[in-house]
């Protein structure tokens, strides 16, 4: 069945360093790839998304890249800050009315001050 693999499961970086989280999807018809950030005890919140007609999207310190051929996409956070510490989930969807989001298993990012 469809699945999304996410790596690493935990990531610890020093404040100011960059962090990269990678996801691989199995359904080649997927065309929408959101990333969610979930702080401890809070709801998942969308931080950035990308559609399959572009290869990269950037929003301040956050960027997402997509390689459709290899079926993988990555989240890049530059100049990390302690408030970036959270669990990050990638997801993939083939769109359409049902728009079923398949989530990765999450990455716990810890930014050390």
Partner 1 sequence: EAQVTQNPRYLITVTGKKLTVTCSQNMNHEYMSWYRQDPGLGLRQIYYSMNVEVTDKGDVPEGYKVSRKEKRNFPLILESPSPNQTSLYFCASRPQGDTWSNQPQHFGDGTRLSIL
DSSP 83: G
Task: Map the footprint of partner 1 across residues 47-76, applying CB under 8 A.
Answer: 49, 51
List 34, 72, 73, 80, residue binding partner 1 (CB under 8 A): 34
**Residue 92 near residue 27 (C-beta atoms within 8 A):** yes
Name the residue nearer to partner 1 (CB basis): 19 or 92.
92
Helix residue ranges per DSSP H, 1-113: none
Query: Peptide bond before 27: cis, by omega within 30 degrees of 0?
Result: no
Tell me the C-alpha distance between 85 and 83, whole Å: 5
- By CB under 8 A, tell whether 40 contacts partner 1: no
Contact segment (CB under 8 A) with partner 1 among 12-20, 55-63, 67-75, 96-104 equals: 96-104
Helix (H, G, I), strand (E, B) or coil at 47: strand
Size of the site for partner 1 (CB under 8 A): 25
Q: Which residues bind partner 1 (CB under 8 A)?
A: 6, 9, 31-32, 34, 42-46, 49, 51, 89, 93, 95-101, 103-106
């Amino acid at each position: 069945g469809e699945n999304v693999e996410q790596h690493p499961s935990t990531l610890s970086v020093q404040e100011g360093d960059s962090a990269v989280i990678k996801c691989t999807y199995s359904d080649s018809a997927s065309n929408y790839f959101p990333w969610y950030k979930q702080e401890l005890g809070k709801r998942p919140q969308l931080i950035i998304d990308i559609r399959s007609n572009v290869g990269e999207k950037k929003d301040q310190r956050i960027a997402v890249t997509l390689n459709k051929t290899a079926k993988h996409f990555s989240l890049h956070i530059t100049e990390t800050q302690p408030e970036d510490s959270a669990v990050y989930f990638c997801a993939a969807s083939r769109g359409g009315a049902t728009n079923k989001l398949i989530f990765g298993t999450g990455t716990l990012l810890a930014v050390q001050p």
